[in-house]
């Protein structure tokens, strides 16, 4: 089975924000529909506190990026990420509003996907410092397959960097055979 490296952006601004990020990471890995061999969480970025984007009248977010290796198709990965959001009580009724968790597929290898329900790379990634800062921590030389720029280059040009502050250490990632892996 061929595997790809993918990056997921996680964000939360309701409830116990860091706990929500950790629970989402755990649920991604332990989903009953995800055989362990098909999804391996490799690293977590540090956690960043970020000003809201799109709708300012809400609490600040905690955000991080997870690097994973997967043999899942992009559609299967989307099903799992949306399942985690549903299980944690995410509501999709209002765009850019407060949320318990948000899990976005940022990159899926160097593959470009344009479907009604899924666009990869994430279509607004290049506009969002709150995603680019943690992504740059993990993969600064990763090249955006549409823009032809590295994450570092995109981060240098993005607006909103002043609203992104290092908040805490990387998440403790779940491991199927025992204790958490340290990032």
As annotated, the active-site residues are 90, 99, 102, 104
Terminus-to-terminus CA distance in the chain, angstroms?
Answer: 25
| Contact (Cβ atoms closer than 8 angstroms) between residue 9 and residue 48 | no
Going by the DSSP 8-state scheme, the letter that residue 182 receives in this structure is P
In angstroms, the CA 29 to CA 31 distance is 6
Residue-wise over 67-81: b if at least 16 C-beta within 10 A, else e?
bbebebebeebbebb
30, 7, 25: which is closest to 109 by C-alpha? 7
CA angle 111, 114, 119 (to 5 degrees): 80
Taking the alpha carbons of 44, 49, 55, 58 in that order, is the dihedral positive or negative? positive
Going by the DSSP 8-state scheme, the letter that residue 163 receives in this structure is G
């Amino acid at each position: 089975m061929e595997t790809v490296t993918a990056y997921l952006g996680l964000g939360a601004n309701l409830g116990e924000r860091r706990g929500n990020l950790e629970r989402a990471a755990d649920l991604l890995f332990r989903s009953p529909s995800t055989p362990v061999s098909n999804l391996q969480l490799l690293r977590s970025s540090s956690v960043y506190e970020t000003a809201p984007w799109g709708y300012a009248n809400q609490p600040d977010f905690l955000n991080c990026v997870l690097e994973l290796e997967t043999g899942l198709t992009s559609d299967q990965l989307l099903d799992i990420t949306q399942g985690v959001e549903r299980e944690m009580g995410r509501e999709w009724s209002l765009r850019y509003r407060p949320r318990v968790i948000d899990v976005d597929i940022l990159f899926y290898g160097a593959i470009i996907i344009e479907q009604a329900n899924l666009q990869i790379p994430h279509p607004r990634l290049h506009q969002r410092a709150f995603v680019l800062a943690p992504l740059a921590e993990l993969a600064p030389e990763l090249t955006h397959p549409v823009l032809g720029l590295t994450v570092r280059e995109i981060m240098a040009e993005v607006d909103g960097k002043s609203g992104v502050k290092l908040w805490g250490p990387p998440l403790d990632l779940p491991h199927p055979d025992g204790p958490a892996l340290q990032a």
